[in-house]
Amino acid sequence: MKTQAEEIRAFLIDNIEKHPSDIVTVTMQHFGVTRTTVHRHLKKLRQDNQIVQSGTTRDIKYFLSSSLERSMSYAITHTINEFDVYEKDFSNIYEKLPKTILDIVTYGFTEIFNNAIDHSRGSKINVSTDYSNNNISISISDDGIGVFKNLQDYFKLDDLRESVLQLNKGKMTTDPANHTGEGVFFSSRVFDVFEIYANNLHYIRDNIEEDWSLETLSKMDKGTCVKMLISPDSLNNLVGTFQQYQDSESLAFDRTDIVVGLSKFGNEVLISRSQAKRITLGLEKFRHITLDFSGIRLAGQGFVDEIFRVFSKAHPGIKINYINANSDVEFMIKRSLSTHL
């Protein structure tokens, strides 16, 4: 025989889809319990990943987490369109999300799906979405050449890992006539967590922890899988993210931030000018650049000179800032900057 607590939670599961906005009142009336009691059981169901809460205060709605579960496969043809796929097969499962989260999900889904169509050189795309640990998860994969290999070939990069750095700068695309190179850049910054699996590499950008990692895989030399996670409670905002990287007057996408650690392979120390050129490749497309030196123990004279003197002298209209440099790195940067005087 069920306890009352079990009966209340079963009732919530059975009726939440029919009463997304007034399920608390309906449950109170059915069982003759207080609002606090119902909210306690809703909290338990949320903790167990059985339901999702959307919105705040009077706009709160609840729905089953299982309604966010869907997996679909598509052949890549000349007629397939990312917006048609999204509208037909996925828009209905996201429609209950808060507007700001819906904007992010729609943007990331369509941008990454379009990249798979236009750049993967594959034959099919798989999409899956679910909800767990208070996160909406969207996974889009293809069976093509792999995004990092594609970039390495196009830009003639010496090391496959450098593709991760170039991809994160923005405006780096293998099809400049038809693409701006903004999709991955903004998707990787507006989701809570953004991951790419391709060519035996796994890149993670965690915007909650403000951290990143690049790991070597052993069993994924073909294809690309992009995984994007965001909480329905996230404060991220798509328009706000765009505004961080655009000129306030022209609205041009003219600034970028670069994790300097992505230019360092293994236990390398950043010493040489060739290492610095991994950073400066393509930066002439921007007007404002921020270099993040988090985790960099040492940067040599040649490395900083190539960026802060040589590149800056060749591109006087570009402003380069730096953050999170330790005292040794900052000394070398300031030493290089002093040669401008």
Q: What is the pLDDT of residues 124-137, one digit of tens each?
A: 999 999 998 889 99
Amino acid 219: pLDDT: 78
CA distance 90 to 220: 27
Amino acid 224: pLDDT: 96
For the chain, domains (ranges, CATH) are: 4-65 (1.10.10.10), 69-240 (3.30.565.10), 247-340 (3.30.750)
Residue with tokens 């007034």: 22
How far, in Å, are 84, 116, 117 from residue 78 at the CA level?
13, 13, 9
pLDDT digits (tens, 9 = 90+) for 68-116: 999 999 999 999 999 999 999 999 999 889 999 999 999 999 999 999 9
CA distance 165 to 209: 19
How far, in Å, are 29, 67, 132, 285 from residue 38 at the CA level?
11, 22, 22, 55
Interacting residues of 202 by C-beta distance below 8 A, sequence separation 6+:
195, 196, 213, 214, 215, 216, 217
Which parts of the chain sit beneath pLDDT 70?
A: 177, 179, 339-341
Pairing of the two strands 288-292 and 255-259: parallel
Residue with tokens 């450098």: 162
The structure's pTM equals 0.89
Which token pair is 267?
Answer: 């236990």
